[in-house]
């Protein structure tokens, strides 16, 4: 049992566990909408487009979180604006913003002498997270989950029948912007844990695993959060006991959970088709 408790003797591990908890539940809950509304590309794009904001914040000595958040919000609103009248398909708008902002980030990074300064941002460093950043992650979690809870019935309706939602007076465009802005907050908090390159995995993989096991939206969100926290904790243990990257371990642990969920789903489908044949 002592191997389970050992990591908790270290403050950086305690902070890490708290961080993956907050990041996990936030990413996994909004991730359900990302998966169901087929917005996976947006999550990936947002994670990459925060780069110029981070580099600017680094240049001026600001907190990188706020730089990333500013760039994330610009991207989210830019995607919404470019595709608002369907003159451009949403995935095309994302492609334009994604590559443009990422290229700007790389261009700005190339003016810095050492890439190592940005390593934590690119690949995540949850074990180096400060108590102040954990508080920020908690605030983001409360904000995102609070808004999703308050707007639950409206977000649900607009996700599967936007026309009916508009007929009863809901501003479907505004709700889309709300979701994009929440996504920007979520992605920026995810970057603290697993970095720019792997954040979209935290959004998508636990939610995709949950969607294989249940067809109730609230249950899917709870299950997805559970998977993300489980993957985060497992990843931290792996990186504690083996000299491997914490971000990659967390994502791989989530991928294993997805594999198990996929296998369970396959077994369940086979069993039910066998029962149908017998019946």
Partner 1 sequence: MFKKRLLTYSGCHHPPPVRDAPALEVEDLCAQYERSGVAALRDIGLRVERGERVALVGPNGAGKSTLLKVVANLLPMRSGRAAIFGHPVGTCHHRVSFLPQRSELDWRFPVNVERLITAGRYVHMGWLRRPASADRELVARSIELLQLDHLRERQIGDLSGGQQQRAILARTLVQNAELLLLDEPLNAVDARTRGIITDVLVRLKEEGKTVLMATHDIGRLESDFDQAVFLVDGRQVDGPPNQPPPGILS
The residues of the shown chain that bind partner 1, judged by CB under 8 A, are 36, 85-87, 150, 153-154, 156-157, 159-161, 163-164, 166-171, 211, 214-217, 220
Rounded to 10°, the helix 172-213/64-82 angle is: 110
212-220's contacts with Cβ under 8 Å and 24+ in sequence apart are 212/258, 212/261, 212/262, 212/264, 212/265, 213/261, 213/264, 213/265, 217/32, 217/156, 218/152, 220/32
The Cα–Cα gap between 77 and 241 comes to 42
Residue placing its CB nearer to partner 1 in the complex, 156 or 238: 156
Nearest distance, CB of residue 31 and partner 1, angstroms: 14
Torsion of CA 91, 97, 63, 127, to 10 degrees: 40
Residue placing its CB nearer to partner 1 in the complex, 119 or 271: 271
Residue placing its CB nearer to partner 1 in the complex, 107 or 142: 142
Coil, strand or helix at 67: helix
Nearest distance, CB of residue 161 and partner 1, angstroms: 5
Residue placing its CB nearer to partner 1 in the complex, 138 or 143: 143
The Cα–Cα gap between 9 and 6 comes to 6
Nearest distance, CB of residue 49 and partner 1, angstroms: 27
Nearest distance, CB of residue 173 and partner 1, angstroms: 13
Number of Cβ within 10 Å of residue 128's Cβ equals 13
The answer to whether the beta carbons of residues 40 and 183 sit under 8 Å apart is no
Coil, strand or helix at 256: helix
Nearest distance, CB of residue 178 and partner 1, angstroms: 12
Both tokens assigned to 105: 């980030």
Nearest distance, CB of residue 37 and partner 1, angstroms: 8
Instruction: Report CA 42 to chain centroid distance, whole Å.
Output: 10
Residue placing its CB nearer to partner 1 in the complex, 74 or 170: 170
Nearest distance, CB of residue 232 and partner 1, angstroms: 24
Residue placing its CB nearer to partner 1 in the complex, 2 or 86: 86
Residue placing its CB nearer to partner 1 in the complex, 157 or 256: 157
């Amino acid at each position: 049992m002592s191997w389970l408790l050992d990591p908790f003797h270290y403050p950086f591990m305690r902070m890490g566990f708290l961080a993956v908890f907050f990041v996990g539940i936030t990413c996994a809950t909004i991730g359900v909408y990302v998966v169901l509304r087929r917005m996976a590309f947006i999550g990936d794009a947002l994670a990459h487009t925060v780069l110029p904001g981070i580099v600017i914040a680094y240049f001026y000595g600001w907190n990188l979180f706020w730089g990333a958040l500013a760039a994330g919000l610009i991207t989210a609103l830019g995607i919404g604006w470019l595709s608002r009248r369907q003159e451009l398909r949403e995935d095309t708008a994302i492609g334009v913003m994604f590559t443009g902002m990422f290229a700007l980030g790389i261009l700005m990074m190339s003016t810095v002498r050492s890439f190592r300064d940005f390593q934590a941002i690119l690949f995540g460093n949850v074990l180096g997270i400060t108590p102040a950043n954990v508080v920020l992650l908690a605030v983001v979690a409360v904000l995102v989950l609070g808004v999703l809870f308050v707007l639950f019935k409206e977000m649900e309706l607009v996700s599967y029948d936007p026309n009916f939602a508009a007929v009863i007076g809901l501003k479907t465009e505004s709700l889309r912007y709300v979701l994009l802005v929440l996504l920007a907050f979520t992605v920026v908090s995810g970057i603290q844990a697993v970095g720019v390159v792997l954040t979209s995995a935290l959004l998508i993989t636990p939610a995709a695993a949950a969607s294989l096991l249940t067809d109730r939206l609230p249950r899917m969100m709870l299950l997805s959060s559970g998977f993300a926290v489980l993957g985060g904790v497992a990843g931290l243990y792996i990186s504690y006991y083996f000299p491997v990257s914490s971000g990659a371990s967390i994502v791989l642990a989530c991928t294993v959970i997805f594999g198990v969920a996929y296998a369970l789903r396959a077994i369940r489908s086979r069993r039910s088709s066998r029962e149908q044949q017998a019946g």
